[in-house]
Amino acid sequence: MAKPDQPATPGRATIAVHGGAPHRGPGDPVAQPLIQSVNYVQDVGSSDLLYTRYGNTPNEEVVQKRIALLEGAEAALVLSSGMGATACALLALLRPGDHLLSSSWIYGGTRKLFTDEFPLMGIEVSFANPDERRVWRKTIRQNTRAIFVESPVNPTCRVLDIPQLAILAKLQGVALVVDSTLASPINSRPIAHGANVVIHSATKYLNGHHDILCGVVAGTASYIDEVKRKMIVWGQAPDPFACWLLERGLKTLELRVTRSGENAMRIAKWCATRSEITRVHYAGLPDHPDHAIAKKLLDGFGGLLAIELAGSGAAAERFLRKLRLIAHAASLGGVDTLVVEPRFSSHAHMSSEERAAIGIPDGFLRLSIGIEDAADIIADIEQALQ
Ligand SMILES: *Cc1c(COP(=O)(O)O)cnc(C)c1O
């Protein structure tokens, strides 16, 4: 029996360090060794084959088990990128003639996959605005197989009501797939809220150090077997070194996500007091449209926030040129604080008017807050605003 001070199920910080690792005995290394080998010697007369593209080698397996434990899923699979994860996750669910209902608030690469690639394979995709709840039920068809959403949403920090969507999906007998990249399993476990599949760009918070590209799919063991079949033939497996770095990055996941969330809250509150900034998008602020649902569903509001500058595009350009500590760089969820202007990155394919209509006007900047001292990040923003 567990002692009173030892919880029966380990906490998330403990799972992040130890989850899925083999038992250690005297003489064993404390850190997971990196085994940079693609192939392994095979028993004569056996078809058991270890091969990196099959996702079954030691550095792949330990990190897959750890992420499954963090998500509260039966199984998880690590792939070579977030896009590889999304593609294989959906290829395992959809067949020609099927229909996918997607939120319209999704990552640009995912949108391209749905609009440019899936129709070529005979898969129809419809987009629905999460603010228009009644449209969702109406958009579901006889041949709808899955609902795809991203929450929290990049870059507006909107938060979707996953339990409500899970009820809809269950009623209609379709799978609910959630891209939970921005939350990480520290702030949200969508499976506990009724989702069937969870996707991550592990390039972001899960690894957290801006040095590898990886993706994750988590779900039931039988579904993950199906995703693995897709990964093997479409060639989306990760490299052992990327898995080793991901496993190392995961050890500090709880610390990093907590720290960047605390920093983001302080910075969001500070930004809200500045006259040069007309609007702050952060679900931790009471005036954010999804503050109540975020408080209910998330364990933390996360490290991503967005600001709108009073001087529009020209002010944004001046601001970016003056920054010293904060780097102007794509991606998010790492230890360094980064800033991007969606009009030149994720939303460059849209006109200024189209962007404004979806809440991303010129002068909109997305900040991915890192783990530096909040005071230093604020000082950099303050000097760049002048
Ligand atoms: C970055 C990102 C992706 C794509 O991940 P890659 O690892 O770059 O392939 C997908 N979804 C979200 C929400 C992302 O931020």
pLDDT in tens, 104-135: 999 999 999 999 999 999 999 999 999 998 89
How much of the chain, in percent, has pLDDT values that exceed 70? Answer: 98
Residue whose CA lies nearest to ligand 1 atom number 1: 201
Evaluate whether 12-22+34-250 and 253-385 have a shared fold. no
Give the pLDDT of residue 377: 98
In this model, does residue 3 exceed pLDDT 60?
no
How much of the chain, in percent, has pLDDT values that exceed 90? Answer: 92
Over residues 27-52, the mean pLDDT reads 96
Q: Which atom of ligand 1 is nearest to the CA of 181?
A: 13
Over residues 351-374, the mean pLDDT reads 93
Q: For residue 253, give Cα distances in angstroms to 216, 233, 329, 362, 369.
A: 15, 31, 21, 33, 14
| pLDDT band of 7, cuts 50, 70, 90 | low
- Paired tokens of 43: 């028993």
**Active site (catalytic) residues:** 53, 107, 179, 204
For ligand 1, the distance from its centroid to the CA atom of residue 81, given in whole angstroms, is 8
Q: Are 216 and 249 in contact (CB under 8 A)?
A: no
In this model, does residue 4 exceed pLDDT 80?
no
Longest dimension (CA), the chain: 74
pTM for the model stands at: 0.96
Q: For residue 378, give Cα distances in angstroms to 271, 305, 309, 381, 382.
A: 9, 13, 15, 5, 6
Q: Which of 7-11, 225-229, 241-245, 336-340 has the lowest mean pLDDT?
A: 7-11
Residue whose CA lies nearest to ligand 1 atom number 7: 82
Average per-residue pLDDT for the chain: 96
* Domain regions of the chain by residue span: 12-22+34-250, 253-385
The CA distance from 21 to 18, in Å, is 6
For ligand 1, the distance from its centroid to the CA atom of residue 199, given in whole angstroms, is 9
Phi, psi of 236 (to 5 degrees): -110, 20
Give the pLDDT of residue 310: 96
Amino acid identity of 258? T
In this model, does residue 80 exceed pLDDT 90?
yes
User: What is the CATH number that goes with domain 12-22+34-250?
Assistant: 3.40.640.10
SS3 197: strand
Amino acid identity of 215? G
Q: In this structure, which topology does domain 253-385 adopt according to CATH?
A: Aspartate Aminotransferase, domain 1 (3.90.1150)
Give the pLDDT of residue 346: 81
Give the pLDDT of residue 2: 44
For ligand 1, the distance from its centroid to the CA atom of residue 201, given in whole angstroms, is 5
Give the pLDDT of residue 349: 80
